[in-house]
Structure 1
Amino acid sequence: MTIDLRKFFQATNPSKTLVVANPEDRKYYIDFSSVRGGEIIEELKYNITFLSPDDPTCFLFTGHIGCGKSTELLRLNKELEEEGFHVVYFESSEDLEMEDVDIVDVLLAIAYRVSQSLDKIVLEEPSKLNKLLQGVWNVLNSEVTGLRVKPPEVPGLLKLGDLGFTSENQKLTIAFGFGEIITRVKNDENLREKLNQHLGPKKTELLEAINKELLEPAIAKLKLQGKKGLVVIVDNLDRIDSRPKPWGRPQQEYLFVDQGESLTKLNCHVVYTMPLALKFSNEYGNLTQRFSEEPKVLPMVVVQQDGSDYEPGIALLRQMVLARAFPDLDEKQRLEKISEIFDSPKTLDQLCRVSGGHVRDLLRLLNTWIQKERKFPPLSRQTLEDVIRSRFNEMTITIYDDDWELLRKVKQQKKVSGDQGYQKLIRSRLVFEYRISNLLWFDINPILADAKELQP
């Protein structure tokens, strides 16, 4: 079997998330759990399916952006569905303006996605939700037109401005209402402010209405159909901006600490992604008091330990790269094909090593390498070094003297503290977290290893 160069290049697209339920994507999937902290997805599944299948649970899931969280959550989605649960997975960035997120926005997005997913289930008329949504629409419409919308004349019908919408299926009306409101406010700061001014004081009422008129009736109907329960997976919430709210509170701390209790009040199983920087915030202790479980962390794939290569981690990264080139071969057969892609096995190992075990960074380096290599195959060590140097230059532009001092400490001590500076290093992927069994340590991004500022 010879390599399909174009398909190999496309398979290394760092922006593509693997959907393990898709048979083609499944060929690319590598299970890294043995070299980055254990079976985190298995733990989440066990908690939901065995320990608390009938009681609401709430989990936080975090890690560096691009480390593979979405792929693992989609794996969780697939396995929970196989266990008989109805799963609603969505990327919150599609519904929310990540620079300006409030608790009301998150609750509305969840309610919208759940109601949208229940296309074959008819629920009782949700009178409280209808009333709340009509009130929201009146406020938003008055902001746009200067006029109040006349309340709907048909009981239970949500009339949205001039868009009138009718359906015998009441649930479909509510889904449409949620969707219209989310669409209108996402790209309009003034409307978002109006929405939160109106619904913020009614947060408890909104939560109760979502639970009593949507989630609980839906779960009851799902169980009658043979389902075991409802799970909502809210991805990309780890991408919310760290900028402060108007009153000075950092947005991430506001949502997950100040409003953390509300995030736990939905009467179904919920998994939220959380910004990794919060793990190193002075508010982390308060955050863990809001949630019954500490956040689950997906660390980097271990590629070095105590200054030496960690062969199990590098071996799995080799397989990840080779699977993109030869998805239909087994592990042993792939290894025999290294020379068809790289000028030597050591060159492939250097790619794995310099990635620091960050999956998306590895794919980004490889994808750029393929583009720059004019005589491919094989991919040459010299071109890889050019790509690494280019990436080094990009990264160091934003590193200041104080950052270098912190990076030197991380390199020496293999740990970080709750200092704001360390939060920046984590957000910028200048420092990575690693775990094996009960061992936990931090280290600098290997791209920076030869920086003169880090030399003794």
Structure 2
Amino acid sequence: MDIKDFHKATNPARTLKARNEEDQKCYIDFSEVRGEDIISTLKDSITIWNPDEPTCNLFTGHIGCGKSTELLRLQVELEAADFYVVYFESSEDLEITDVDIADVFLAIASRISKSLEEIVLEEPKKFQELLQGAWNILNSEVTGVKGKFAGQDIGYTVDGQKLSLSLGIGEITTKMKSDPTLRTKINQYLAPQKTNLIKAINQELLEPAISKLKQQDKNGLVVIVDNLDRIENTVKPWGRTQQEYIFVDQGEYLTQLNCHVIYTMPLALKFSNEYGILTQRFPERPKILPMVPVKYSDGSIHQQGLELMRQMILARAFPNLAPEDRLNKITDIFDTPATLDRLCQVSGGHVRDILKLLNPWIMKDKKFPLQGNTLEQIIRDQRNDFSLRLSAEEWQLLRHVKETKEVSDDLGYQKLIRSRFVFEYRDQGELWFDINPILAESEKLSE
């Protein structure tokens, strides 16, 4: 294998897409060692138990643990079951440092209307009335918009040509994302009307669209809102954290769309004092994608988990080989099999972090086989980087995690989870936590 091809194949920013045949050769199914096939659980909830009733599910896990890859696989499986699926990354539409509930609904409406443009729906009059108010704010605040759209209904351009609903909403959401002042003004207008906004989306977009889809022999509509777990935990002007505001205070509204919806949720909320209230807002408890275990809670090697992590790396080097044949090629890529195992173990089973170690390693060595001493240098550099971000109190919390394999709902633990200093694992239904192995080797944990 060419070293440049391997570097490209191990890009941490690239999500494996279930539709792509070459990507599927690199896909490794970790469900058996993670304790549950959560994607099958989500699929069954929609296709078997509630095909004709709206469902709302939350999906969470460490950022980078493979949620997007699994959700894209879910999309393909739902489409094979004759559901129409709208998947989108909400971070493309939302300013993740400042999100309001109206932003979320506008993003969803925009993506649905764009995806379903070929389906002819009646003019959404109530929806347009609501958006016209936002459009008026846009016209009055943004230079250049007035000349193009002033005095026109949101559904039409100045020359009388029909403007798609998705384009109309897209103009608003794009301006909102880039201009915080404008975003505040439009949210001040839309937030008090969120009930009417949801009603308009349901009655004028979702329900007629689903009716048309069923005429085309589809079983229903599923919306997957990815990357909502990435919204930052900033504090709103009234003192509420953004994550708790969206998923706890506004959680009831998130459940009111009349279609199947899956939202990704920040994992830190699982450790919030408000988590109990959050679970009351949603019909089902959040589904959690845990880490891939490469060891047990007692420190012994988890052989099956380690083997799957090996295959994750080897599949990117030798996608066309059978798993057992790839094992014979380890020393074509690494100086020793032990070096590959070291990479897998120090990643803690985090599927993006292992690539974040491997990708710069490839750039440093520039040739095969990759040398173990280079990996150790990268590990030390990353450990030093992590250590600089930790306070004395946080080191004490890490010592507690190391000893007990548990965390509490303390705000300090929320930061440790969010920053990937602590990982969550499942073992035959039992939950346990451990320190990121890169930090676990720090001498400070023994102080």
Q: TM-score interval w.r.t. the shorter chain?
A: over 0.9
Contact 1:134–1:158 (Cα < 8 Å) also in 2? no
**Structure 1 spans left out of the alignment, 5+ residues:** none
1:323 pairs with 2:318: no
Distance (Å, rounded) in 2 between the aligned partners of 1:222 and 1:437: 41
Match of residue 332 from structure 1: 324
> What secondary structure does 2:293 align onto?
coil
**Structure 2 spans left out of the alignment, 5+ residues:** none
1:453 pairs with 2:444: yes
1:380 equivalent among 361, 368, 371 = 371
Deviation, 1:372, is 1.1
Deviation, 1:94, is 0.5
1:356 pairs with 2:348: yes
Contact 1:157–1:166 (Cα < 8 Å) also in 2? no
Match of residue 197 from structure 1: 188
Match of residue 261 from structure 2: 270
Contact 1:301–1:313 (Cα < 8 Å) also in 2? yes
| Identical amino acids, percent of aligned pairs | 62
Match of residue 442 from structure 1: 433
Q: Which amino acid aligns with 2:308?
A: L
What is the aligned residue count? 444
Change (3 A) 1:123 1:386: same
Contact 2:27–2:312 (Cα < 8 Å) also in 1? yes
1:142 pairs with 2:133: no
Contact 1:38–1:437 (Cα < 8 Å) also in 2? no
1:99 pairs with 2:97: yes
Distance (Å, rounded) in 2 between the aligned partners of 1:413 and 1:150: 63
Q: Which amino acid aligns with 1:109?
A: A
Deviation, 1:144, is 3.1
Deviation, 1:6, is 1.5
CA displacement, residues 196-244 of structure 1 (integer Å, 9 cap, x when unaligned)? 1111111111100000000000000000001000000000000101010
Deviation, 1:396, is 0.6
CA displacement, residues 15-69 of structure 1 (integer Å, 9 cap, x when unaligned)? 0011011101111100001111210000000000110011000000001111100
1:261 pairs with 2:252: yes
CA displacement, residues 280-339 of structure 1 (integer Å, 9 cap, x when unaligned)? 000101100100111111111001111111000000000000000000001011001011
Deviation, 1:151, is 4.6
Q: Which amino acid aligns with 2:338?
A: K
CA displacement, residues 79-133 of structure 1 (integer Å, 9 cap, x when unaligned)? 1011100000000011010111000000000000000001320001111011111
Distance (Å, rounded) in 2 between the aligned partners of 1:362 and 1:382: 16
Change (3 A) 1:164 1:261: farther
Contact 2:251–2:282 (Cα < 8 Å) also in 1? yes
Distance (Å, rounded) in 2 between the aligned partners of 1:298 and 1:147: 47
> What secondary structure does 2:26 align onto?
coil
Match of residue 178 from structure 2: 187
> What secondary structure does 1:408 align onto?
helix
Q: Which amino acid aligns with 1:322?
A: L
Match of residue 158 from structure 1: 155
Deviation, 1:164, is 5.5
Deviation, 1:159, is 4.1
Deviation, 1:142, is 1.7
Q: Which amino acid aligns with 1:50?
A: I
Deviation, 1:134, is 1.3
Q: Which amino acid aligns with 1:182?
A: T
1:76 equivalent among 74, 77, 91 = 74
Distance (Å, rounded) in 2 between the aligned partners of 1:247 and 1:201: 16
Distance (Å, rounded) in 2 between the aligned partners of 1:173 and 1:88: 17
CA displacement, residues 428-449 of structure 1 (integer Å, 9 cap, x when unaligned)? 1000000122111000000012
Q: Which amino acid aligns with 1:234?
A: V
Distance (Å, rounded) in 2 between the aligned partners of 1:129 and 1:10: 45
RMSD: 1.6
Distance (Å, rounded) in 1 between the aligned partners of 2:161 and 2:255: 33
Contact 1:84–1:228 (Cα < 8 Å) also in 2? yes
1:5 pairs with 2:8: no
Distance (Å, rounded) in 2 between the aligned partners of 1:215 and 1:424: 38
Distance (Å, rounded) in 2 between the aligned partners of 1:302 and 1:165: 60
Deviation, 1:157, is 6.0
Change (3 A) 1:381 1:225: same
Match of residue 362 from structure 2: 370
1:212 pairs with 2:203: yes
Deviation, 1:14, is 0.4
